[in-house]
Amino acid sequence: MEATERPYWDMEVEPLLNTPEMRELQWTKLREAIRYCYEKVPFDRQRMDKAGVRPDDIRSFDDFARAIPHAGQPEIRALVEEFGGDFDKVFGALLGKERLDDLYLLTTTSGTTGVPTPYPFFRRGVERQSDMLARASWRMGIRPGDRVGVCFGLSMHAAGTPHLLWYLDYPGVTLVPIGAEAGTERILQLMKLFKVNVFAGTPSLALHLIERAPDVLGEPVASLGLKILACGAEPGAGIPEVRTRLEQEYGAKVFDGGAGIGGSCDHPVYQGMHWLADDFAYYELSDPQTGEPVPLEHGASGLAVMTPLEPEHALFFFNLRVTLGDIHQVFTDPCPCGRSGFRYRIVGRTDDMLKVKGVPVYPAAIEGVIHGFVPRVTGAFRIVLDEQPPRVVPPLKLKVERGRDLRDDDLPGLEKEILEKMHKDLKVRPTISWLAPDTLERSTKKTQLIEKAYEGS
């Protein structure tokens, strides 16, 4: 078999993903990780002390799931407050001295709200992290000779800058660090000039480039001849309607990547992201309300909770049982694509879940419905909230841009269709205020879908 034809990047580990053999390896590593965090990481030690457990008390995965409650943004914010905003002290507590001394790259999330969440990268971690990204890239079909346009934010952005390190050992790939900050015009020009054939960036940027290409390039975006869109940092590429639109407009394969540790496959129907990091991070689901463990069964959903199995190499998750606030649905049955790894789909985030008459609604789900109506709508929309979420007093208010060529006469019929689809799929009956095309601001980074009318403007 040709080296470039092999199914997996790592032919030793990847065939074992989601197997009993892998569970044994995970257990061995998890015990060591618990010990490491207890001995060297003040934040985790305090959590275990508070719960009255010591590493030796944890004798099974089930013990671990019940040993300490999961931690997330609220606990990190409390630490920031406790240390009066001194991030060195916060890091000392969260990472421990050994990892802090190995700190190499300090980035943040895109920070759409409040204090940015720091994302550290360790010297010792970079190589191991490259291996994770390589697994996802190989499955996407990135091969020697490809030219990757890195269009994530490069200023501090945790999804952008590390790309430049992660591909160091990937054979034959050239990186073009364009950065979302370059703006759509330059992004399009540079991709064309340097013959980029793989786009790495947010799905909302990819959507925005479709609209801009005719003006900037004088041709549709398909003229760039991209073969792959490697999307991430937003759920868009996992929304079937968005993915279909991107594939059609670009004439490229579209993949959804998750924090460098998961990636979708090229099965024609979206199957979720394959979890590629069994040997690197331990994955659990937990009930977002009660914190009770949720068994990892086909179709189950819950808050995704992670633990690094190699804490000194950790990526995005640095502590025991931590969550970024993402609600996942998992699929443990074999994927029709035939590749290894259970799959997960991002349902939404705990902090952007809305409750309309008690029915949970995620902005990503609304986005899916709206995008199913392109080109009669542009795809751009906002959810307008009059009160602090999650509770929404009905009706849910939407602002939606009408499509460029839509006739006035066709608007009422379109509105009726959209509302019926929302009711059928999401069990909500919103009201729509129509906007002219290109009224809403387009973002090259993370698009804020919620307009907080209660905060004034």
Q: Quick one: 216 or 337, whose CB is closer to Zn ion?
A: 337
What is the rounded CA–CA span in Å between residue 203 and residue 249?
13
* Residue 265 CB, nearest approach to Zn ion (Å): 3
State in angstroms the smallest separation of the CB of 273 from Zn ion: 9
Contact 126, 161 (CB under 8 A): no
Q: Choose one: 196-204, 228-236, 288-296, 334-342; the region binding Zn ion (CB under 5 A).
A: 334-342
Give the residue, chosen from 271, 307, 323, 444, that forms a contact with Zn ion under the rule CB under 5 A.
271
Cβ contacts of residue 157 below 8 Å, gap of 6+? 107, 108, 109, 110, 180, 445
**What is the amino acid identity at position 133?**
L
Which region among 211-219, 221-229, 264-272, 448-456 touches Zn ion (by CB under 5 A)? Answer: 264-272
Write out the binding residues for Zn ion, residues 36-95 only, by CB under 5 A: none
Binding part of the chain for Zn ion, among 25-33, 253-261, 329-337, 405-413 by CB under 5 A, reads 329-337
Angle formed by the axes of helices 73-82 and 87-95, to 10°?
130
**134 part of the interface to Zn ion, by CB under 5 A:** no
The site map against Zn ion for 286-325 (x = CB under 5 A) is ----------------------------------------
Tokens of 432: 């729509």
Distance CA 133, CA 79 (A): 30
In this structure, which amino acid lies at residue 454? Y
> In the complex, what is the shortest distance from the CB of residue 231 to Zn ion, in angstroms, rounded to a whole number?
16
Look up residue 384 and give its two tokens.
């307008």
Q: Is 337 in the site for Zn ion (CB under 5 A)?
A: yes
Q: How many residues bind Zn ion (CB under 5 A)?
A: 4
C-alpha dihedral, 33 to 34 to 38 to 43, nearest 10°? 90
> Measured between alpha carbons, how far is 385 from 397 in angstroms, rounded to an integer?
7
Instruction: Give whichever of 170 and 344 is closer to Zn ion, judged by the CB atom.
Output: 344
Determine if residue 430 is left, alpha or beta; phi over 0 gives left, psi from -120 to 50 gives alpha, anything else beta. Answer: beta
For Zn ion, give the closer residue by CB, 79 or 261.
261
- Burial class (CB within 10 angstroms; exposed 0-12, middle 13-18, buried 19+) of 204: buried
3-state secondary structure of 270: coil
Stretch that binds Zn ion, among 46-54, 61-69, 335-343, 395-403 (CB under 5 A): 335-343
Q: Indicate whether 265 belongs to the interface with Zn ion (CB under 5 A).
A: yes
Q: Which of 3, 19, 21 is nearest to 11 (CA)?
A: 3
Nearer to Zn ion, 264 or 319 (CB): 264
Cβ-based nearer residue to Zn ion, 109 or 340? 340
Give whichever of 107 and 271 is closer to Zn ion, judged by the CB atom.
271
Contacting Zn ion within 108-127 (CB under 5 A): none
Is omega for the bond preceding 390 within 30 degrees of 0, making it cis?
yes
Print the binding letters for residues 210-249 with Zn ion: x by CB under 5 A, - otherwise. ----------------------------------------
**276, 327, 335, 361: which one contacts Zn ion (CB under 5 A)?**
335
Given the complex with Zn ion, which of 100 and 296 has the nearer CB atom? 296
| Shortest distance in whole angstroms from residue 266 CB to Zn ion | 8
- Strand partners for 400: 381, 434
β strands within 70-139, DSSP E: 103-108, 118-122
Stretch that binds Zn ion, among 148-156, 267-275, 351-359, 411-419 (CB under 5 A): 267-275
What are the tokens at 75?
């606990």
Please identify, using beta-carbon distances, which residue of 218 and 338 lies nearer to Zn ion.
Answer: 338
The helix/strand/coil state of 56 is helix
Write out the residues near Zn ion by the rule CB under 5 A: 265, 271, 335, 337
